[in-house]
């Protein structure tokens, strides 16, 4: 059974009542894990098979970054690849668009991290690579890796159109990949695509703040960001 979790922002207790119900759950987190160490995932993994993509909050500070990319959990990041999970080919695109790199529909400023580093002042580099902030920025090269592959489901942190803050480039990617569903996080309000007249060729589901959805797009839990 595949479940999709919206931005946890460092809290995972709300997931336990659902993952404890049965032993065959694959849990896919749609970004903004906001960990400071891997322990919350290690604990949750006792009850389910965890996969995820990163969000914009996953490189806010070094500890957020290290909890993922400095631990064994980096192997479970679905960003820029397609993995078969319970018979479904699931493609991942983590991170967010940023004007310093690429803000569609504008033309990209840099194609990939190497291109960025060629023009970046040395004092702004981090660990001999792109700055910490941009470790979770989307580059055109990320899209290029995915667009010639096929998948059943695309998971993103950013939203596609017709979300008011969505990006058409994600619609185009989903169509090229032939997906039937797109799940995304980032926007905390559980935006309801079903009420819109203009719809995509694929089912789109916004899994909001600390929310949970099943493979049919049904909400099992709706969280409210009252922070």
Report pLDDT digits (tens) over 209-226.
Answer: 999 999 999 999 999 888
- State how far the alpha carbon of 32 is from the alpha carbons of 59, 89, 176, in Å: 9, 22, 26
- The pLDDT tens digits of the residues spanning 174-220 come to 999 999 999 999 999 999 998 887 678 899 999 999 999 999 999 99
Tens digit of pLDDT at every position of the chain (227 positions): 999 999 999 999 999 999 998 889 999 999 999 999 999 999 999 999 999 999 999 999 999 999 999 999 999 999 999 999 999 999 999 999 999 999 999 999 999 999 999 988 888 899 989 999 999 999 999 999 999 999 999 999 999 999 999 999 999 999 999 999 999 999 999 999 988 876 788 999 999 999 999 999 999 999 988 87
Structural contact between residues 170 and 160, judged by C-beta atoms closer than 8 angstroms = yes
Half-sphere exposure of 81 (CA within 13 A, CB side): 13
Question: Is the previous residue joined to 35 through a cis bond, with omega within 30 degrees of 0?
Answer: no
Which domains are assigned to the chain? 2-221 (3.60.21.10)
Q: Which residue carries 């060629």 as its tokens?
A: 118
Residue closest to 217 by CA, chosen among 177, 190, 189 = 190
Instruction: Output phi, psi for 223, to 5 deg.
Output: -90, 160
60 by Cβ neighbours in 10 Å (0-12 / 13-18 / 19+) ranks as middle
Q: Is the pTM of this model over 0.75?
A: yes
């Amino acid at each position: 059974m595949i479940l999709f979790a919206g931005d946890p922002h460092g809290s995972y207790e709300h997931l336990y009542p659902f993952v404890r119900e049965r032993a065959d759950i694959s849990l896919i987190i749609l970004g903004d894990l906001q960990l400071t160490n891997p322990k919350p995932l290690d604990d949750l993994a006792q009850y389910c098979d965890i996969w995820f993509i990163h969000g914009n909050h996953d490189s806010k500070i070094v500890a957020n970054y290290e909890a993922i990319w400095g631990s064994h959990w980096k192997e479970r990041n679905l960003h820029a690849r397609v993995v078969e999970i319970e018979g479904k080919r699931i493609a991942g695109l983590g991170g967010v668009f940023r004007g310093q790199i690429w803000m569609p529909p504008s033309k990209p400023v840099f194609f990939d991290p190497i291109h960025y580093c060629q023009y970046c002042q040395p004092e702004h580099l981090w660990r001999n690579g792109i700055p910490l902030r941009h470790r979770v920025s989307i580059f055109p090269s990320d899209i290029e890796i995915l667009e010639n592959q096929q998948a059943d489901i695309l998971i993103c942190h950013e939203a596609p159109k017709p979300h008011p803050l969505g990006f058409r480039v994600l619609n185009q990617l989903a169509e090229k990949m032939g997906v039937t569903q797109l799940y995304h996080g980032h926007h905390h309000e559980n935006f309801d695509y079903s009420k819109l007249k203009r719809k995509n060729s694929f089912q789109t589901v916004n899994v909001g703040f600390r929310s949970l959805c099943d493979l049919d797009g049904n909400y099992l839990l709706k969280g409210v960001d009252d922070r």
